[in-house]
Chains A and B, each alone.
Chain A
Amino acid sequence: MNTPDILTVRSITKTFASRGRPAAKALDAVNLSVSEGSIAGLVGESGSGKSTLIRCIMGLERPDTGTIIFDGTDMSVAGREEWRKFRQQVQLVFQDPFSSLDPRMTVESTVGEGLVIHKKSMVKNHRRELVATALESVGLSASDMNRYPRSFSGGQRQRIAIARAIVMRPRLLVCDEPVSALDVSVQAQVINLLKSMQAESNISILFIAHDLAVVRHLCDSVSVLEHGKIVESGRSTEIFGNPQADYTRSLIAASPIPDPAVQREKSRSSLAQ
């Protein structure tokens, strides 16, 4: 690919020593890259190591071996100043929009908190403006600023969480199952929002999900993680059009399609095999 990578994960291994049992390899020589301005998908079931990978990328966990390179900087040898820059430019959106927002903080202080922490905007009026712009760009209104999270629905809360991330003008958004807790009709709103953000502001997104249909729909490239190993990665269209790894194939075969005729055809062919 011609565009440079904003994030490169190079051969990361992470082992957890658990008591009484042989040490478990949570990540085994994992390679992953997100090219600038693209949406990269990471697919994995529970126990695949995706949570550990996210923790390593965010600097919450130190990999045993391997490096994480953000915007040309090797984060394993990065200094305090580079980490500060990293924390501003990489923002995380969590799965559960109900527990990830502090119920005692107004939307304004939730969304504006990062600006204060990173001393990006210490003047209250200026900060209000930034928060208002962020809220509007995720489809909420500036008048929502003084409300508390409990008066919002799940989809709206996830928009608040995204507003909290993008107000920092990040270059990379790491989304950990951001739509799996949402209802179908609301899930589509958030997916469309992420897609339009990418188109309009050239933000890069690492999108972690277990729902293959969502990933195929949203992501330019995909990596498939199984038991701590990347079993397949490449352009979305290629992987879903012509999966190579058995694991990817079995995942695709097991994903239900919302079409009775197709599902019948699938169960017929699976029995024929």
Chain B
Amino acid sequence: MMTEARTAALPSGERSPATEVAPILEVRDLAIDTGTSRGPMRLVENVNLSIRPGERLALVGESGSGKSVTARAIMQLDPSMRLTGSVRFAGTELLGLPERSLRSYRGSRLSMVFQDPLRSLNPTMTIGEQVAEPLRIRGVSRREAWRRAQATLDQLGVANAGHRMRSYPFEFSGGMRQRVALAIALVAEPALLIADEPTTALDTRVQDRVLKLMDTIALERGLAVILITHDLGVVAGFADRVAVMYSGRLIEEAPVDDLYRAPKHPYTRGLLDAVPRLDTDARTLAAMPGTPVSPDARPPGCAFADRCPVRVDDCLSVRPVLLPMADAAHAVACHFPIERESK
């Protein structure tokens, strides 16, 4: 308990995942196409991501930015999406793997939690059955699966877990349901957890508790986490590294402190300026004009150009590539990255 508290007390920025460790997940040049009534549409393109064991990567973007689609592509949950590029997990290429082999990864080595904890639990199955299922699928005996499910629920702070495993989702509060969803994702001890807006549907205080819980468990287990969210406050408290998506493309990636202190992309800057802060008195919010362009209406150049305060005409036609800045940890896709803090 003492050691747990100590590691948990180490703030995320001070944990230093060894850079020489091989990434657990490496996404290279991922593109996602889907068929629509008006022909194929490219939802996401040129996505490069890598995450090392124990690292937390936040994938940030507004609705339609492609962050959730990207997360689901890693799990290959939607057969209607055509994926190209490469998704390597622990050295194995997942794209093109037969469904049967994919299933052996899902829920055991990499797993996922979703936004709405009521909708993501089966209403007619007991909590115990659902938490034990990832183990039962893999042939773990009923008794052993039940025991491990109970241990996982205990660890996630579900009080009286042994008894409550016979309950159904509707008998749980929102926060408890999300703990159950986390237990399902974690029961088979995966190496990577993909959390798609896991706290968006929760009340503030419940969100805080669930995030702290995720933090503690990730630390204890050396779990890598991809957190998908639109909430810059949640990111600040949880992530080591942040990747920002806009209209289906990655536009900036940096360690969390660098990104908040000195964003390089005008969109990231704009996002940060548009969020009201609870710890300061009213200042005028700098609202970005316009709305994000949908992936089927992207210009050949920069997708943000029409809203950008520093664009030139060429920005609309020449597409910026995500390139590392002089300090290699920070990459940005902009012809005119913000040089230094202008505020």
Where the two chains meet, the residues of A that have a C-beta atom closer than 8 Å to any C-beta of B are 45-46, 153-156, 183-189, 191-192, 210-214, 216-218, 237, 240, 250-264, 266-268, 271
Q: Which residue of the partner chain A has the closest CB to B276?
A: A217
Q: Are B62 and A185 in contact (CB under 8 A)?
A: yes
B 260-300 binary contact with A (CB < 8 Å = 1; else 0): 10000000001110111111011011111101100000000
When distances are taken between beta carbons in the complex, the residues of chain B under 8 Å from A153 are: 291
Q: When the two chains form their complex, are residues B288 and A188 in contact, meaning their CB atoms are under 8 A apart?
A: yes
Nearest-neighbour CB distance to chain A for B175, whole angstroms, equals 11
| Interface of B: prevailing SS | helix
Expressed in whole angstroms, the Cα–Cα distance for A240 and B279 within the complex equals 8
Contact check, A213 vs B286: say whether CB atoms are below 8 A apart: no
> Of the 9-residue stretches B219-227, B233-241, B334-342, which lies at the interface with chain A?
B233-241
Does any Cβ of A come within 8 Å of B204's Cβ?
yes
**Which residues does chain B contribute within 8 Å of A187, judged by CB atoms?**
274
Shortest distance from the beta carbon of A262 to any chain B beta carbon, whole Å: 6
Segment at the A interface, from B5-13, B144-152, B182-190 = B5-13
Whether a CB of chain A sits under 8 angstroms from the CB of B46 is no
Chain B residues within an 8 Å CB radius of A192: 284-285, 287
Q: Does B208 contact A (CB under 8 A)?
A: yes
In the complex, chain B residues whose CB is within 8 Å of the CB of A252: 278
Do A237 and B207 touch (CB < 8 A)? no
Which residues of A have CB within 8 Å of B233?
213, 255-258, 263
Interface residues of B (CB under 8 A from A): 5, 8-9, 11-13, 62-63, 174, 203-205, 207-209, 211-212, 230-237, 256-257, 260, 270-272, 274-279, 281-282, 284-289, 291-292
Complex CA distance for A67 and B271, rounded to whole angstroms: 43
Q: Is the CB of B232 within 8 A of A184?
A: yes
- Which residues of A sit under 8 angstroms from B260, Cβ to Cβ? 258-261
Q: How many A-B residue pairs have CB under 8 A?
A: 138
Known: A258-B233, A260-B257, A262-B236. A212 touches B285 (CB 8 A): no
Chain B residue nearest to A187 in the complex (CB): B274
Nearest residue (CB) in A for B203 is A45
- With A250-B205, A251-B204, A264-B12 in contact, is A258–B275 under 8 Å at CB? yes
Chain B residue nearest to A193 in the complex (CB): B287
Give every chain A residue within 8 A of B174 (Cβ-Cβ): 46
Q: Contact: B205 with A184, CB < 8 Å?
A: no
> Could you tell me if B205 and A45 are in contact, using CB atoms closer than 8 angstroms?
yes
B275: chain A residues within 8 A (beta carbon): 184, 188, 213, 258
Contact of A263 among B236, B272, B286 (CB under 8 A): B236
For residue B281, which residue of chain A has the nearest CB? A237
A251 CA to B320 CA, complexed, in Å: 42
Among B8, B203, B282, B292, the residue within 8 A (CB) of A183 is: B292
Q: Given the interface contacts A210-B204, A251-B205, A255-B278, does A188 sit within 8 Å of B237 by beta carbon?
A: no
Q: How far is the CA of A46 from the CA of B205 in the complex (A)?
A: 11
When A and B form their complex, which 6 residue pairs have the shortest distance between CB atoms, in order from nearest? A256-B233, A254-B208, A263-B237, A188-B287, A217-B276, A188-B274
Chain B residue numbers with a CB within 8 Å of A191 are 276, 285, 287
Whether B272 lies near A188 (C-beta < 8 A) is: no
Report yes or no: A185 in contact with B270, Cβ–Cβ below 8 A.
yes
Given contacts A153-B291, A264-B11, contact A258 B236 (CB under 8 A): yes
Which residues on B sit within 8 Å (CB–CB) of A216?
276, 278, 281-282
Q: Pick from B212, B232, B282 the residue with the most CB of A within 10 Å.
A: B282
| Minimum CB–CB distance for B271 against chain A, Å | 6
A271 and B237 contact, CB distance less than 8 A: no
Chain B CB within 10 A, most for which of A184, A213, A240? A184
Q: Is the Cβ of B231 less than 8 Å from the Cβ of A256?
A: yes
Q: List 6 interface pairs A-B (beta carbons < 8 Å), by A numbering.
A: A45-B203, A45-B204, A188-B274, A256-B208, A257-B279, A264-B237
B286 cross-chain contacts in A, Cβ below 8 A = 188
Whether A254 lies near B62 (C-beta < 8 A) is no
How far does the Cβ of B148 sit from chain A's closest Cβ, in whole Å? Answer: 29
Contact of B13 (CB < 8 Å), options: A45, A218, A255, A264: A264
Contacts A186-B291, A260-B236, A266-B237 given; 14 further ones with Cβ under 8 A?
A: A185-B270, A186-B62, A187-B274, A192-B284, A210-B204, A211-B276, A212-B278, A254-B209, A256-B207, A256-B208, A258-B277, A259-B260, A259-B279, A260-B13
